[in-house]
Amino acid sequence: MADIIQLLPDHVANQIAAGEVVQRPASVVKELLENALDAGAACIKLIIKDGGKVLIQVVDDGLGMSATDARLSFSRHATSKIKKAEDLFNLHTKGFRGEALASIAAIAHVEMQTKPDTEELGTHLRIEGSEIVFQETAVTPKGTSIAVKNLFFNIPARRNFLKSNHVELRHITDEFHRVALAHPDVAFHFYHNGSELFNLPADNHRKRIVTIFGTRANQKLVPVEEETPIVKIKGFITKPEFAKKSRGEQFFFVNHRFIKSPYLHHAVVAAFEGLIKSDTYPGYFLYLEVNPASLDINIHPTKTEVKFDDEHSLYAILRSTIKHSLGQFNVAPALDFDQDPNLQTPYGFRNRSAIIPQVTVDAGFNPFQEKQQGGFTAQTFKKQSANWENGYIGMESKLGNDSNGGSISYESDTITGTIFEGEKEAQETVTTTFQIRRKYIVTTIKSGMVVIDQSRAHQRVLYERFLKNSTIKEAISQQLLFPLTLTFSNSEIGALQEIEDILVSVGFIFEKIEGESITVSGVPLLVAESEVGMVLDQLISDYQQEVIGESFSHTDMLSKTLAKTLSVKTGEILDRQSQLALVNDLFACTESMISPFNKPVYITITENDIDKKFI
């Protein structure tokens, strides 16, 4: 039998390896930013065009490379970070496997300019599909500039799987946030299509968070700090009242590296137990420092999943640290069972002396003594009560000749019977409804009864209403007496501007959007003034995280979010009229059987089903 196994060519192997490292433009951004940080850069510039599909460029002022190192850096598994296998368990850098640049060069056009500080001239290098097509000496500033153009130019199938420019830019922004938050001592600049999105000067952790997520984030933060032999923890958590229904501002950093850890996330949520609702999530920016020997970061190609040697101790320390911070800064209620609260003196009265109340008593007061100047006494009461019949004098003239008082009108009349048969039949056809456990509405039909989920039913009604208003653009707005000014982060403002037209079509009116603030002067009829901020937060969050998916339009997605946010919730009491109105509106919908999120709205229980229960 002939030999059939053969070695793959280098360019094919590089393309296969690129599929593990480079999944989208954000993957390239992550690798290039980490390389710039490993080079000791103090200022890093990120330049993006068309969501990273056309250009991704990172410019730093780090160490730079010699001509030989610049050429060798694009070889597979070429690295200066490790020399033996034991070095994998004592890592202090971001990149160490030496596969990022080789993978990127295999599926893009790469151009590099680099110069170390010790040399007068630098190196200009150009690579296309893993092949070096140009290299010469060039005049370039200290540091390195890498430009990645035409990503996936030689793999059209992979390029077709990329999303729209807005979506890819959102992923790039997320990666940029993760790197910038991990290194507040480094200045970052972020440009997209010639406009500056972020200008982050070197600062401390708190100011870096506020600069990225807006000035509103400053009032949310609660500091966290703890140092033990196992781990050193510092950072911030958000106050319980700012918990969101979506997992947004949640960041774990271990040894200045962003990680994802459901186990540690559970520890944070457990510390907030009893302070937030079960369907909301707290925000946090937590920086952990552990011994590199107790950490394995080489278990996933993206290096965002790590493994700790002692996870149980880390869980307990993190949970208790956050609980301590919540109590220390009076965010969580503190109970002291050794003190009697009745004996505690308020701070405002701590330095004041007690004042003995003065009581005056009229010793000569006699309640049965008749006064000379009028007044109500026991004697006058007896005189008035003896002549009670005089109060009905003249009543006959008011009633007229009707001795039964038939002309007197009462506030409400109770009808106990009917005269005509038609009225009786009409009363029998009136729909009757009642509520079960503040969750379901039960109504009768000819064949039995219907049990309706009130929240899903209201979602369906609102969804079709908002979708219709967005389509025909005839939504009715209610003007606010005093316009509302709300503050958001730069990324949230950008998302809001992208969906502004759709929000206007459902009834929102924006006076102006500038900087980090927006002014709202009109809202849809179903949105209360106190809920405007919450509704916009939810809309922006769902739009950024693509909750509904790429196959649906933005109008459909926002209509679903509005319906879910404004619908009647489980646990709300509905009176009889509200129940009837919801039932009638539901069965007037185009599709009444399922909610906007493809869940059943009601079930039907026939008379036969009930009879079977009694067999």
Q: Is the pLDDT of residue 420 over 50?
A: no
Decide which of 150 and 372 is more confident. 150
Is the model more confident about 36 or about 415?
36
Across 521-543, average pLDDT: 82
Question: Is 447 in a helix, a strand, or coil?
Answer: coil
CB 162 within 8 A of CB 18: no
| Cα–Cα distance for residue pair 144/122, rounded to 1 Å | 9
CA atoms of 173 and 26, how far apart (whole Å) = 8
54 alpha-carbon distance from chain centroid: 31
Res. 149: pLDDT tops 50? yes
Q: What are the respective helix, strand and coil percentages of the chain, to the nearest 5?
A: 40, 20, 40
Amino acid at 587: F
Residue 384 has pLDDT above 70, yes or no: no
Picking from 114-118, 497-501, 608-612, which range would have the lowest pLDDT averaged per residue?
Answer: 497-501
Confidence check: pLDDT of 561 > 90:
no
Tokens 């907030």 appear where? Answer: 272
**The pLDDT of residue 428 is above 70:** no
- Tell me if 84 sits within 8 A of 56, measured CB to CB: no
Place of tokens 């600062």: 203
With beta carbons less than 8 A apart as the criterion, state whether 145 and 181 touch: no
Name the residue with tokens 């456990």: 437
Q: In the prediction, which pLDDT does 432 show?
A: 80
Read off the pLDDT of each residue in 67-71 and give the average, rounded to a whole number. 87
pLDDT of residue 547: 44
Residue 312 has pLDDT above 70, yes or no: yes
Q: Indicate if the pLDDT at residue 409 is higher than 60.
A: no
Let me know: does 507 contact 524? Beta carbons within 8 Å. Answer: yes
DSSP strand pairing (187-192 vs 43-49): parallel
Enumerate the domain spans of the chain: 10-200, 205-328, 440-603
* Statement: residue 13 has pLDDT above 60: yes
Distance CA 363, CA 111 (A): 105
Among candidate residues 18, 46, 374, the one with its CA nearest the CA of residue 180: 46
What digits encode the pLDDT tens for the residues 131-142? 888 889 999 999
Q: Are 466 and 506 in contact (CB under 8 A)?
A: yes
Q: What are the distances in angstroms from CA 374 to CA 221, 379, 382?
A: 69, 11, 15
- Fold that domain 10-200 belongs to in CATH: Heat Shock Protein 90 (3.30.565)
pLDDT at 298: 65
- The average pLDDT across 530-559 equals 71
Q: What CA–CA distance (Å, rounded) separates 496 from 490?
A: 10
Q: How far apart are CA 150 and CA 145, in angstroms?
A: 17
Per the prediction, the chain carries an average pLDDT of 80
Q: Which of 58-62, 524-528, 567-571, 573-577 has the lowest mean pLDDT?
A: 524-528
Q: Is residue 211 predicted with pLDDT exceeding 60?
A: yes
Residue 587 vs residue 416, higher pLDDT: 587
Distance of CA 252 to the CA centre of its chain: 17
Per-residue pLDDT band for 9 (boundaries 50, 70, 90) equals: confident
User: Which one-letter amino acid corresponds to residue 595?
Assistant: S
Please enumerate in sequence order all residues whose Cβ is within 8 A of that of 169, keeping only pairs 6 or more positions apart, or say none. Answer: 48, 51, 52, 192
The string of DSSP letters for 66-112 reads -HHHHHHTTSTT--SS-SSGGGGGS--SS--SS-HHHHHHHSSEEEE
pLDDT tens-digit map of 442-461: 998 888 889 999 999 999 99
Three-state DSSP at 236 gives strand
pLDDT at 96: 59
Q: What's the average model confidence in pLDDT over 61-74?
A: 88
What pLDDT is recorded for position 274?
A: 84
Nearest to 96 by CA among 108, 88, 84: 88
pLDDT digits (tens, 9 = 90+) for 221-248: 999 999 999 999 999 999 988 888 777 7
Name the DSSP class of 589.
S
- At residue 416, the pLDDT reads 46
CA of residue 453 relative to chain centroid, distance: 26
Q: Which of 46-55, 70-79, 175-184, 481-490 has the lowest mean pLDDT?
A: 70-79
User: Which pLDDT score, from 0 to 100, does residue 382 have?
Assistant: 58
Lowest mean pLDDT among 281-285, 398-402, 428-432, 488-492: 398-402
Q: What CATH superfamily classification does 440-603 receive? A: MutL, C-terminal domain, regulatory subdomain (3.30.1370.100)
pLDDT of residue 417: 46
C-alpha closest to that of 103 among 75, 82, 133, 67: 75
**Structure-token pair, residue 326:** 């919540």
Statement: residue 533 has pLDDT above 50: yes
pLDDT recorded at residue 418: 46
Q: What is the mean pLDDT of residues 88-100?
A: 64
Greater pLDDT, 393 or 378:
393
CATH 3.40.50.970 assigned to 205-328:
no
Q: How far is CA 501 from CA 79, 509, 558, in A?
A: 50, 10, 11
Nearest to 197 by CA among 497, 486, 520: 497
pLDDT tens digit sequence for 178-209: 999 999 999 999 999 988 989 999 999 999 99
Q: How many CB atoms lie within 10 A of CB 83?
A: 8
Question: What's the CA gap between 203 and 183, in Å, rounded?
Answer: 9
Cβ(583)–Cβ(443) below 8 Å: yes
Q: State pLDDT tens for residues 460-481.
A: 999 888 888 777 766 677 888 8
In 3D space, the residue among 171, 211, 206, 165 whose CA is nearest the CA of residue 188 turns out to be 211
Structure token pair of residue 13: 């192997």
Q: What is the CA radius of gyration of the chain?
A: 36
